[in-house]
């Protein structure tokens, strides 16, 4: 068993990163499959979005009510329990013959997928202070790759073997991953000493008394809202303006993977004390990405996608490095609150993006994409000066 008092090995960091990517991908597999799933299960076109929405709702509930358990329960046991539930839910979703059963399983998939948000602070707890940012950056690069690869991978698999196969393969991957985590993860028992009710009650106090959490949640909610806007609307733009089919759209989504490669570098910048400068750069890059996207051309749009994804990855790592430095006793609760806040931002961005595109085309969507990080930039300049 790994000794938690020793620095993390490269192999264990890679396992954390791979686990985060494989688990979080389950939230994004359904997005390109909503149409085929709805047709097979008898859902109306208007209700097709529920195949994605209920998974996201489950994840949001898990962030608030399950992730805080990482400050109370032995972490490895909690992660494996969540993954067991996730695996069962994936099997049920893959075998579902009715809309009600599939949607219920989708909700459970979201709940189980919050295992990833116990893994990230677990990795931070095992890292020493001098390399914590680098460790978080490396682990988050796996998570970001999982987010960005999930859509094209599920689309391509479904194109060849049907959407049921996506869930079957993911369930098998979760079983193998669970075995690897059981063998390699050390035990970690937090020094909580409080009841579950007290744990949940303490979260409002953490929001009130932790200005770093409020600032970082604000910045990243703004950035994640435009990330969701971009990846919700660009498939429509690619189909209408450039005539791309589902496979072409999936290949375009692969471009965003390049943006995830900046996450380890962002962790090193945070360890070196450059968090504020790097945050400023991330906000400016997000604005620049949408400005660039207004220039006609598929290549330019691809570059904009890479720049935007790099900005999101940078800011996410910088934010978590600051939050995890606040102390081990509240790390999981702080992470759950931070994730829940920017998750709401993502949901808002998706909704406003689709509406803006319908009413005013890509120009309207891009203007919103520039406005949100611009407002976050203004807040950054004020709040960081006060801090």
Q: What was the pLDDT predicted at 100? A: 94
DSSP per residue over 187-247, as a string?
P------S-HHHHHHHHHHHHHH-HHHHHHHHHHHHHHHHHHHHHHHHHHHHHHHS---HH
Task: Look at the block and give the residue holding tokens 């960091």.
Answer: 13
Band (pLDDT 50/70/90 cuts) for residue 7 is: low
- What is d(CA 46, CA 33) in angstroms, rounded to the nearest whole number? 14
Band (pLDDT 50/70/90 cuts) for residue 290 is: very high
106-115 per-position pLDDT tens digit: 999 999 999 9
Look up the pTM and report it.
Answer: 0.83
- What is d(CA 329, CA 308) in angstroms, rounded to the nearest whole number? 34
Q: What was the pLDDT predicted at 31? A: 78
Whether 3 shows a pLDDT value over 60: the answer reads no
Please give the structure tokens belonging to residue 16.
Answer: 């954390």
Please give the structure tokens belonging to residue 273.
Answer: 């004390």
Residue ranges in 294-330 assigned as alpha helix (H): 298-324
- Average predicted confidence (pLDDT) for the chain: 89
Please give the structure tokens belonging to residue 163.
Answer: 């959407």
Q: Tell me which DSSP letter residue 127 carries.
A: S
Handedness of CA 123, 64, 73, 85 (dihedral sign): negative
Band (pLDDT 50/70/90 cuts) for residue 45 is: low
List the domains of the chain with CATH numbers. 10-386 (1.20.1250.20)
Q: Radius of gyration (Cα) for the chain, nearest Å?
A: 20
- What is d(CA 137, CA 279) in angstroms, rounded to the nearest whole number? 14
* Residue in 312, 307, 226, 315 with CA at minimum distance from that of residue 276: 315
Q: What was the pLDDT predicted at 247? A: 78
Q: What was the pLDDT predicted at 310? A: 92
Q: Average pLDDT in the 101-124 region?
A: 95
Band (pLDDT 50/70/90 cuts) for residue 252 is: confident
- What is d(CA 174, CA 94) in angstroms, rounded to the nearest whole number? 14
Q: How many residues does the chain have?
A: 387
Residue ranges in 42-131 assigned as alpha helix (H): 50-65, 75-95, 99-113, 116-126
- What is d(CA 89, CA 58) in angstroms, rounded to the nearest whole number? 12
- What is d(CA 156, CA 378) in angstroms, rounded to the nearest whole number? 41
CA atoms within 13 A on the CB side of 336: 28
Q: Average pLDDT in the 207-222 region?
A: 94
Q: Which of 63-67, 333-337, 351-355 has the lowest mean pLDDT?
A: 351-355
Task: Look at the block and give the residue holding tokens 């953490």.
Answer: 206
CA atoms within 13 A on the CB side of 381: 8
């Amino acid at each position: 068993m790994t000794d938690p008092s020793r620095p993390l090995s490269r192999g264990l960091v890679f396992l954390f990163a791979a686990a985060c990517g494989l688990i979080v991908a389950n939230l994004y597999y359904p997005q390109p499959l909503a149409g085929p799933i709805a047709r097979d299960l008898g859902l109306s076109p208007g209700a097709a979005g529920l195949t994605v929405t209920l998974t996201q709702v489950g994840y949001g509930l898990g962030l608030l009510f399950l992730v805080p358990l990482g400050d109370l329960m032995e972490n490895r046991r909690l992660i494996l329990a969540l993954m067991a539930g996730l695996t069962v839910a994936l099997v049920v979703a893959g075998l579902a013959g009715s809309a009600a059963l599939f949607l219920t399983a989708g909700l459970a998939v979201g709940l189980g997928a919050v295992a990833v948000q116990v893994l990230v602070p677990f990795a931070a707890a095992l890292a020493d202070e001098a390399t914590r940012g680098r460790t978080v950056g490396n682990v988050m690069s796996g998570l970001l790759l999982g987010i960005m690869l999930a859509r094209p991978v599920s689309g391509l698999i479904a194109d060849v073997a049907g959407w049921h196969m996506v869930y079957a393969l993911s369930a098998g991957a979760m079983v193998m991953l669970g075995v690897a985590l059981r063998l390699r993860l050390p035990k970690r028992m937090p020094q909580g000493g409080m009841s579950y009710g007290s744990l949940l009650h303490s979260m409002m106090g953490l929001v009130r008394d932790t200005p770093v959490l409020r600032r970082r949640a604000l910045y990243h909610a703004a950035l994640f809202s435009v990330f969701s806007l971009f990846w919700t609307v660009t498939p429509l733009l690619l189909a209408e303006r450039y005539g791309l089919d589902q496979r072409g759209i999936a290949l375009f989504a692969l471009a965003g993977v390049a943006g995830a490669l900046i996450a380890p570098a962002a962790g090193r910048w945070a360890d070196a004390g450059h968090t504020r400068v790097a945050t400023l750069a991330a906000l400016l890059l997000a604005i620049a990405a949408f400005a660039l996207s207004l220039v006609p051309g598929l290549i330019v749009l691809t570059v904009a996608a890479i720049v935007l994804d790099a900005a999101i990855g940078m800011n996410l790592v910088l934010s978590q490095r600051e939050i995890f430095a606040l102390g081990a006793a509240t790390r999981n609760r702080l992470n759950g609150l931070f994730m829940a806040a920017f998750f709401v931002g993502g949901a808002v961005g998706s909704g406003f993006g689709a509406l803006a595109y319908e009413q005013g085309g890509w120009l309207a969507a891009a203007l919103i994409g520039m406005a949100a990080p611009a407002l976050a930039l203004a807040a950054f300049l004020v709040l960081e000066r006060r801090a």
